[in-house]
């Protein structure tokens, strides 16, 4: 008899309204599960799914990341062991999976393409989001982070733009607005002009995400419902000054 597989525990869950321009056209969800095993390592499995549109202007995107659980639990300095994209935006389609091997300094795409990793704690698009939440995020700070798993995407730049009170279906929140830039295609690409609205507290929970999608225009995710992580699971912590992984420059 084969033993039944135990369901994964939900660590954090965010449900969103999806808007294209001013129109509400779909739903989004960002969920973190514990645990999956990747290449013999325990990982947190995070999924960002976005579905919506009208007429031919439809979006069906799914991003998945497997972040190293030991690193996450020790100091919230999470890094990636696997990353997958299933992107369907109007007539554009991309479905790729990357196996990431920090110990070997290498990533391998599902078509056999290989590349070198320049940092021993590589980040993908989703683990970057959780890593950003662990930072102090003081208005005027700019973080240069040379840890994206594909070297051509480095450095990732995080600019802390402003504080802003916003109202979404889940309520009214004081937020800190961060602009991420990765030199590759995706939600956080240079052309996407993305903005992340995090709660201005120790959790830095994601309340709203704005980006530009090719052939569609402005895409916004607005929080509807939120399950906060337990204290032992939340990714909020302040990095020590002088960390070699991150260089922060304070703007006056």
3-state SS of 166-192?
A: EEECCEEEEEEEEEEEECCCCCCEHHH
Report how many domains make up the chain. Answer: 1
Give residue for tokens 């190293």. Answer: 68
Q: Write out the two tokens for 7.
A: 């369901």
Per-residue model confidence (pLDDT) at position 73: 67
Q: Write out the two tokens for 125.
A: 């698009």
- Asked whether residue 154 is domain-assigned, the answer is yes
- H/E stretch holding 235 reads none
Q: Which of 86-100, 109-123, 135-149 has the lowest mean pLDDT?
A: 86-100
pTM of the predicted model as reported, rounded to 2 decimal places? 0.87
Per-residue model confidence (pLDDT) at position 70: 86
Grade residue 240 by pLDDT with cuts at 50, 70 and 90: very low
- Asked whether residue 132 is domain-assigned, the answer is yes
200 has pLDDT over 70: yes
1 has pLDDT over 70: no
In this predicted model, which residue has the larger pLDDT, 52 or 251?
52
- Structural domain including 124 reads 9-250
- Asked whether residue 2 is domain-assigned, the answer is no
Q: Could you tell me if 150 and 107 are in contact, meaning their C-beta atoms sit under 8 angstroms apart?
A: yes
Residues 146-181 as b/e (b if ≥16 CB within 10 A, e otherwise) read: bbbbbeebbbbbbbbeeeeeeebebeebebbbbbbb
For 45-72, the pLDDT digits (tens) are: 999 999 987 777 788 999 999 999 988 7
- Asked whether residue 1 is domain-assigned, the answer is no
- Asked whether residue 54 is domain-assigned, the answer is yes
- Asked whether residue 42 is domain-assigned, the answer is yes
Grade residue 190 by pLDDT with cuts at 50, 70 and 90: low
Closest C-alpha among 112, 88, 121, 67 to residue 246: 121
- Asked whether residue 78 is domain-assigned, the answer is yes
Per-residue model confidence (pLDDT) at position 74: 56
Per-residue model confidence (pLDDT) at position 232: 67
The DSSP letter of residue 230 is: P
146 has pLDDT over 90: yes
Range among 12-21, 190-199, 236-245 with highest mean pLDDT value: 12-21
The DSSP letter of residue 165 is: E
- Asked whether residue 113 is domain-assigned, the answer is yes
Closest C-alpha among 21, 25, 122, 125 to residue 79: 122
């Amino acid at each position: 008899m084969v033993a039944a597989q135990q369901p994964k525990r939900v660590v954090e869950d965010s449900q969103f309204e999806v808007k294209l321009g001013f129109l509400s056209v779909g739903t989004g969800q960002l969920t973190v599960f514990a645990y999956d095993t990747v290449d013999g390592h325990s990982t947190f499995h995070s999924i960002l799914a976005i579905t919506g549109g009208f007429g031919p202007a439809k979006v069906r995107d799914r991003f998945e990341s497997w972040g190293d659980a030991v690193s996450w639990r020790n100091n919230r300095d999470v890094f990636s062991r696997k990353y997958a994209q299933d992107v369907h935006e109007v007539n554009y389609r991309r479905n790729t999976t990357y196996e990431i091997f920090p110990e070997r300094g290498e990533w391998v795409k599902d078509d056999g393409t290989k590349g070198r990793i320049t940092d021993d704690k590589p980040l993908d698009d989703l683990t970057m989001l959780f890593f950003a939440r662990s930072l102090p995020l003081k208005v005027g700070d700019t973080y240069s982070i040379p840890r994206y798993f594909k070297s051509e995407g480095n450095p990732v730049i995080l600019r802390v733009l402003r504080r802003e009170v916003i109202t979404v279906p889940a309520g009214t929140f004081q937020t800190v607005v961060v602009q991420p830039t990765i030199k590759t295609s995706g939600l956080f690409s240079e052309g996407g002009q993305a903005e992340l609205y995090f709660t201005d507290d120790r959790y830095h929970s994601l309340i709203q995400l704005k980006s530009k999608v090719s052939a569609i225009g402005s895409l916004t995710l607005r929080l509807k419902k939120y399950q906060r992580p337990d204290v032992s699971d939340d990714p909020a912590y302040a990095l020590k000054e002088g960390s070699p992984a991150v260089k922060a420059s304070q703007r006056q």
